[in-house]
Amino acid sequence: MNHRPALQTTLALAILLTLAAPTHAAEPPPCEPTGLDQAQVLREVIKWGGYGRVRLWQRTQVRLDPCKAANNTARMFITLSRAGGYPRGVRYEGQLILSIDLATGKPVDTPNHRGQVSRMAKGLPQAAKAAERNAQIKAWLSNQLRRKRHITARFSDLGGHGQPCLDYESRGDGGTQGTLQWCQGRHPLKNYTLVNPQRSDGKEVQALLAFIQGQHPGCRPDRLQMRPSGKTWQARARLVGETTCPKGFKAATSARGEWIRPKRRGR
């Protein structure tokens, strides 16, 4: 008797069942509580000599991770902020990530931790001043503040591996109304977005709005992303209005500063 067909059927069924079986992602390791009190640890952090340069800054958020980390430590996240130079203010903030010794409840005093504090204390004010001198950022901030938006700028590069950056976020009654990224360097303005860009005073934005009207009458962008590329601009927009409005719209400026539609590949 030939049992090969039955064997092949059994193997095929086993393979199908294996493929159909649900796969489970690797579960995270169980949380081992630190046993530390957040308020007490924060008091130790404030007393720590390395914290002195930012002791007078406002602490907007403090969180002690409840689970043990490597080397018998726990991680504490402290968000610090200070006001910017604009009359109605821009809140600049950065986050420190400190390792806490489980045995003592005190910060682990390392060059890396002191370096974090030093880069924030020195780098954040310097970055804020440099950004606020940038004409395009000044216009963006002025436009947002005039509409009574709340602006927060988050400082990055506390690791010291790149150029200091500031990520601005403008919030209003409807949530986030715009974002902007600035990084210290030759081309500091990286990109920015606007919700309801018709209210913007920016020359490049107003020129783009006129270009969109010429291309798609009756259509307007309710969200706009601008990205500089050397001396030119690239833009993406989501258009609303007429039923014929394209969902996505892309444009760029020419070397002469005029908005044009980029050529499609293969044409």
CA dihedral 125, 157, 74, 43 (to 10 degrees): 0
Looking at every residue in the chain, the average pLDDT score rounds to 83
- Top pLDDT among 127 and 199 is at 127
CB 199 within 8 Å of CB 222:
no
Query: Once rounded to an integer, what is the mean pLDDT over residues 201-219?
Result: 87
Q: What is the pLDDT of residues 92-127, one digit of tens each?
A: 999 999 999 999 999 999 998 999 999 999 999 998
User: How much is the average pLDDT of 41-53?
Assistant: 95
Determine, yes or no, domain membership for 242.
Answer: no
Do 200 and 178 meet the contact criterion of CB atoms below 8 Å apart? no
* pLDDT tens digits for range 142-190: 888 887 888 999 998 765 566 789 999 988 877 777 888 888 877 788 8
Cβ(78)–Cβ(50) below 8 Å: no
Tell me the pLDDT band of 16, cut-offs 50, 70 and 90: very low
Domain containing 145 equals 32-151
Domain membership of residue 137 (yes or no) is yes
How many Å apart are CA 202 and CA 193, to the nearest integer? 12
**Does residue 107 form part of some domain?**
yes
| Burial category of 14 from C-beta neighbours within 10 Å (exposed 0-12, middle 13-18, buried 19 and up) | exposed
Q: Does residue 71 sit within a domain?
A: yes
DSSP letter assigned to residue 99 = E
Chain segment 229-249, per-residue pLDDT in tens: 777 888 998 898 888 888 889
Tell whether 244 is covered by a domain.
no
Name the domain count of the chain: 1
Residue 56 lies in a domain: yes
Least confident of 16-30, 64-78, 136-150: 16-30
9 within domain boundaries: no
Let me know if residue 142 belongs to a domain: yes
